Amino acid sequence: MVVLITAALPAVFAADTPGVRVVEEIAAKVNGDIVTRGELEERRSKLAQYLRTQGLSGVKLADAVKEQSADMLRDEIDSLLLVQKAKDLNIVVDADLNRRLAEMQVESKITDTDKFHDWLRVQTNMPFEEYKDALKKEMLTQRVIGEEIGSRITIPEADLRKYYDAHKDQFMRKEQIFLSQILISTEGKTPEQIEQAEKKSKDLAERAKKGEKFSDLARANSDDPETARNGGQLPPYPRGMLQKQIEDVVFKQRKGYVTDAIKVSQGFVILRVDDRYEEGVASFEDVRNEVNDIVGRPLMEPKVRDFLTQLRKDAFLEIKDGYVDSGAAPGKETRWQDVATVKPQTTTKEEVAAHQKKKLLWLVPAGYTNKPLQEANTAPPKATKVGDTSKPEAVPAPAAIVPKP
C-alpha cells in the first residue's frame, strides 16, 4: 500500500564566519521529537530538484514547488507520529528491511557489497546508512497503517479476482528461487577441523530433514553472521545467478526441500527451498496481498487521514508561529508555549543531531516512482488484509552462495 507519507533528509546549518553561533530553528515539537526548519528547507530543495527533472522551470516550477510545499510540515508530523506508534506497538521491520535491500542488490547485479553501497549513494544522493534508515521508517509507517487500518478492511473475493483477471500484465515474474542457508565454515581450519566441520554439516542437514526448525538451526549454528541472525534467509535469486552446482539442485525442488551438505569454497552449506517462482504470470494466490492493496487503496486513504488526526489529538504537539500544519486536528491546542517555561525555539546543531540522530524521510510526489530503486516485489504474500506487506527476511550478498561472476 503506497500512502503519501513522506521522508526528508536531515538538515543542519553550517557557517564558516568566525564568532557566529550556528543554530537550527525548531518548527514543531511532536511528543519527544522535533521538526526543524532545515529539514523542511531540504525537502523543498529535493522537491524542486525532482520537478526540474520533469521539465518544469521558471514560474511553473515556482508555482509547483509552492503548491506541493504546503503540506510539508503535515507530512513530517505524520511520519513522526506513525514511527512513534510503531514503537508503541512493538513493530519490528529489520528482517523486511534486509530483504528489500537484498532484492535491490540483486536487481542492480552488483555482487560486491561496498560497490552496491556506492551505487545506491549515487542513485539516491544519500549515504547508505541514511537511506537504510529512511527506508526503515517508511516500512514502519506502512506496517502501522496496515495493522491499524488495513486489517479492518475486507475486500470481497470476487472483486479481487476481477481486478487480477483484468490486469494480469501487472503480475509477470521471472523464474527465481527463495532460499535459506546454514554455512559451516572451513576457512583457516586444519584438516582435522575441516573433517569435524563436514561431520557437523551432515548432522545439521539430517536434523533439518527430520523436521527441526531450519531458522533455529541457522541462528544457532551458521558461521555466516549476517544470515544467521535472520534465520538463514537469503535474497531471491533468478536462474543464472547462483553457482551451477547449487542451481542444478535447488531449481528442481519444491518448497520445503532441504539439501545435503554441499561443499563450497567457504566450507559446507545446507540450503532449504523456501519458495520458487516459475516464469510467467504469477498466480492469484501468490499476489493476493498485492491485489488487495491496489483494490483497497481508495478505501484506505480517508481512513489514514482520520487515524492521523486522532494521533494528533493524543499527542503533545506544538507548532511555532509562522509554520502551518495542514493536517491539524480540529480543536487541538498546538500554540507554541512561552519559551521561558518550556524549551528554546532554537538549539545548536549538535543538540539537534543528538535529539534526532539522522531523522529523515524525503518527499516523493504523488505518482512518482524512482525506477532504479523499484523493489522486486517478488516475495510470496502471506496476508489477505489491506496494508499487510510483510515479507520473509534476508540480507545482501550472503557469503555462502555469492552469485557467480
Kindly report the three-state secondary structure assignment for every residue of 273-316: EEEEECCEECCCCCCHHHHHHHHHHHHHHHHHHHHHHHHHHHCC
Cβ-based neighbour number of residue 314 at 10 Å: 12
* Position 9 pLDDT exceeds 70: no
- 23-153+286-373 belongs to CATH 1.10.4030.10: yes
pLDDT 10s digits, 213-257 = 999 999 999 999 888 888 898 888 888 888 888 998 999 898 999
Domain coordinates in residue numbering, the chain: 23-153+286-373, 175-278
- Distant-in-sequence, close-in-space partners of 267: CB < 8 Å, separation ≥ 6: 183, 184, 185, 186, 187, 197, 201, 223, 400
Note the pLDDT of residue 358. 40
Mean pLDDT, the chain, integer: 80
Q: What is the mean pLDDT of residues 69-92?
A: 94
Inter-residue contact 74 to 60 (CB < 8 Å): no
Give the integer Cα–Cα distance in Å for 107 and 359: 27
The confidence score (pLDDT) of residue 354 equals 52
List, for residues 11-55, the tens digit of each pLDDT value: 333 444 445 444 688 999 999 899 999 999 988 998 898 899 889
SS (H, E, C) 258-270: ECCCEEECCEEEE
Maximum average pLDDT range among 324-328, 372-376, 377-381: 324-328
Burial 198-231 (b: 16+ CB within 10 A, else e): bebbeebbebbeeeeebbebbbebbbbebbbbbb
Q: CA 124, CA 370: separation in Å to the nearest integer?
A: 9
Among 35-39, 70-74, 133-137, 237-241, which stretch is predicted with the lowest mean pLDDT?
237-241
In tens, the pLDDT along 249-274 reads: 999 898 999 999 999 989 999 999 99
For the cut 70, the answer to whether the pLDDT of residue 78 exceeds it is: yes
Q: Which residues, at least 6 apart from 149, have a Cβ–Cβ distance to it below 8 Å?
A: 300, 303, 304, 307, 386, 387
C-alpha cell at 92: 519490528
- The CATH number of the structural domain formed by 175-278 is 3.10.50.40
- Over residues 92-115, the mean pLDDT reads 83
CB 93 within 8 A of CB 134: no
* 230 residue type, one letter: N
The closest alpha carbon to 80, from 36, 38, 33, belongs to 33
pTM score: 0.62
**How does residue 377 score in pLDDT terms, banded at 50, 70 and 90?**
very low
Higher pLDDT, 215 or 126: 215
Listing DSSP states for 13-26 in one string gives ----STT---EEEE
Confidence of residue 385 (pLDDT cuts 50, 70, 90): very low
Q: Is the distance from CB of 83 to CB of 91 less than 8 angstroms?
A: no
The pLDDT value given to residue 73: 94
pLDDT at 168 (0 to 100): 92
Q: d(Cα 82, Cα 329) in Å, to the nearest integer?
A: 15
Residues sharing a CB contact under 8 Å with residue 47, sequence separation 6 or more, in sequence order: 65, 68, 69, 363, 365
CB contact at 8 A, 214 and 180: yes
